[in-house]
Amino acid sequence: MDWDDLRVFLAVARAESLSGAGRVLKCDAATVGRRIARLEEGLGAKIFLKSPHGYALTDAGARLLPHAEAAEAATAAAEEALSGEAGQLTGQLRIGAPDGCANYLLPQVCAAICDAHPGLEIQLIALPRLFNLSKREADMAIAVSRPTAGRLTVQKLADYQLHLAADRDYLAAHPPVTSRADLRGHRMIGYIPDMIFDKELDYLAETGVEAVGLASNSVSVQMQMVRAGAGLGIVHDFAIPFCPGVSRVLPDEIGLRRTFWLLRHADDRRSERLGRLAEALGQGLRAEIARLEAAAAVQ
């Protein structure tokens, strides 16, 4: 067994299909299938079970997986050291993040990191869902709650605030909001209830509002609804400065605090390169959140 065989094994395990693994490995599905058959023959065991849903690991494959991942991490560390890049922010790095963070914070934070490290290429995946680091959908991911399971390295990045907000034109055209009780006479904007993928995103439950009149699974779309004067919604304070005319409502009565967490695969914890990126991300996010929240408080 050699590393190249394990690389093919990991690609199929993560993609759960020969064609998906082929796209990652830049070869056709037939070639991937032959490589897996050769590996199984050499091991004397079946490592995948084919079904209508794709390729699933057998018990033998599941036992092989952590060893293959450890070999992958060791190979990456060796390449990093021998190339003279140990501790340097160079190469390609992929970050997964919820769309609010990705839209309003990470563009400027990642730009500053790339300015400081010209050899670095950052790919940002902005999706309102959780990322599967075991399948290497990203090198690291930002989450809104701390996971309690999985082989992950978890690091707190920053706290952030959310408040009820509305556009000034909406507020001028509708009855005044002076207390929580007044919210019953207004249209509320929020998440689609059955698409809330994390309990930390159930903002309106904390305001006592029972239903939303306009809903989206995207934070950015919700913010644009608020900006368009469509109603009131719980929004990130750090997004308010990007929307002139939007201001906080009942800030002393309705306010939430949440936390961004940085997740990395456990096998990556020895990577000095990823550790330095994590530190740069944390510093950049904390500074940008503080700057934008201060601006939101006086908008």
- Domain map of the chain by residue range? 3-83, 91-156+262-297, 159-258
Asked if 247 and 299 touch (Cβ cutoff 8 Å), the reply is yes
CB 29 within 8 A of CB 16: no
Q: How many CB atoms lie within 10 A of CB 161?
A: 17
Q: pLDDT tens, 102-126?
A: 999 999 999 999 998 888 899 998 8
The domains spanning 3-83 and 159-258 adopt the same CATH topology: no
Cβ-proximal residues to 285 (8 Å cutoff; 6+ apart), any chain: 101, 105, 106, 109, 157, 158, 260
Task: Summarize the confidence of residues 186-207 as an average pLDDT.
Answer: 85
CATH number of 3-83: 1.10.10.10
CATH T-level fold of 91-156+262-297: D-Maltodextrin-Binding Protein; domain 2 (3.40.190)
Asked whether the predicted pLDDT for residue 80 surpasses 70, the reply is: no
Which stretch, 60-74, 139-153, 163-177, has highest mean pLDDT?
163-177
More confident residue, 133 or 170: 170
Helix runs in 16-134, H state only: 18-25, 29-43, 59-82, 99-104, 106-116
User: Has residue 88 got a pLDDT over 60?
Assistant: no
pTM listed for this prediction: 0.73
CATH 3.30.1280.10 fits 159-258, yes or no: no
Q: Do residues 5 and 35 lie in contact, with contact meaning Cβ atoms separated by under 8 Å? A: yes
Residue 83 has pLDDT above 70, yes or no: no
